[in-house]
Amino acid sequence: MLKLAFKKNIHKGKLMDLTFTAIVPLLLGSLGIFALFRLLQRMRMRAYLQDAVVVITGATSGLGKECAKAFHAAGSRLVLCGRNGERLQDLVQELSAKANQSKNMHKPCTVIFDLSDTKMVVSAAEEILKSVGHVDILINNAGISYRGTILDTGMDVDKKVMETNYFGPIAFTKALLPSMIKRQQGHIVVISSVQGKISIPFRSAYAASKHATQAFFDCLRAEMEQYEINVTVVSPGYIQTNLSVNAVTADGSRYGVMDKNTIEGRTAAEVAQVVLNAVGQKKKEVLVAGLMPSLAVYLRTLSPRLFFTFMASRARKERKAKDS
């Protein structure tokens, strides 16, 4: 139709007519369809999140806390998990004040447990099912990072990072899955990292735990498809949180430094919004990173040799900077 109109109008020398008879309606039509699509998407997302029981680990700070605010604002019923009861209660107070102002918001409840203790994790899952009945969305967010050389790092540190970032979340997920399968409904989310896709020097334990996370939840997604349970893996780049400050070092002590990369990262509120949208749209995975980290992820697959050269040079530079 467009071709015909084009020929006809060129023939008559009426280019302006062509614009008004074919191109403008086509553009307006596309815009209309796009706007309608977005509206339907937003309505579906709202329905999915409103009143949904959402469990968030690591809700006491950083990204977990911001996810709690975002899902609470979307009308979800929150179960906030953490190790520090006082900080969880502070957040409950903050969110409850908002819940009082809107009938679409709910007062959250809390569960205290340490993810590195599998027994505690399993009984926390039982407690949640007992008190709220079911879980619609589980957000495995809690985690710790690490700084150190492989040579200096004791196995206890490797194990601690794996317990918190990998074994804890998978134990929690496994404990909640049977009830999701019974209902043929549920959504498992995990906050991984760019370092779940590429390994950078002096992060061995952390990168390994995030690679394991990526692998486990990719398997889970495939296995859960028949039960209509969704799995979303979120892989952020640097976020402005206390992750580096709380990181564990080679000897098991706290790193205690706010890194420059962390300060220059995205805000936790911004990433929480990405998590909310990814969940609402049932995305399978999302990479939330800038140009260089994104290119590095592709480079690792397309030209591993070049990627390894970059990483070796990065290790040399970092070691030199530390020594001088």
Ligand X SMILES: CCCCCCCCCCCCCCCC(=O)OCC(=O)COP(=O)(O)O
Ligand Y SMILES: NC(=O)C1=CN([C@@H]2O[C@H](COP(=O)(O)OP(=O)(O)OC[C@H]3O[C@@H](n4cnc5c(N)ncnc54)[C@H](OP(=O)(O)O)[C@@H]3O)[C@@H](O)[C@H]2O)C=CC1
The catalytic residues are 206
197 binds ligand X (CB under 6 A): no
CA distance to 16, 25, 100, 233, 300, per residue, from 21 (Å): 9, 7, 54, 46, 49
C-beta separation of 176 from 123 below 8 A: no
Q: SS3 for 321?
A: helix
Binding partner selected for residue 296 from ligand X, ligand Y, none, CB under the kind-specific 5 to 8 Å limit: ligand X
Q: Verify binding: residue 238, ligand X, rule CB under 6 A.
A: yes
Whichever of 22 and 72 has its CB closer to ligand Y, that residue is 72
Minimum Å distance from CB 174 to ligand X? 24
Determine the Cα–Cα distance for residues 110 and 124; give it in Å rounded to an integer.
10
Read off φ and ψ for residue 79, nearest 5 degrees: -115, 110
CB of 36 to ligand Y, least distance (A): 35
What is the CA angle 220-221-226, rounded to 5? Answer: 100
Length of the chain in terms of residues written: 324
**Do 143 and 61 form a contact (C-beta atoms < 8 A)?**
no
Site mask, ligand X, residues 136-175, x = CB under 6 A?
---------x------------------------------
Kindly tell me which of 153 and 244 has the beta carbon lying closer to ligand Y: 244
Which partner from the list ligand X, ligand Y, none does 213 bind, CB cut-off 5 to 8 Å by kind?
Answer: none
Q: Which lies closer to ligand Y via its Cβ, residue 224 or residue 289?
A: 289
Which residues would be at the binding site for ligand X (CB under 6 A)? Answer: 145, 193-195, 200, 203, 206, 237-238, 243-244, 247, 259, 261-262, 292-293, 295-296, 299, 310
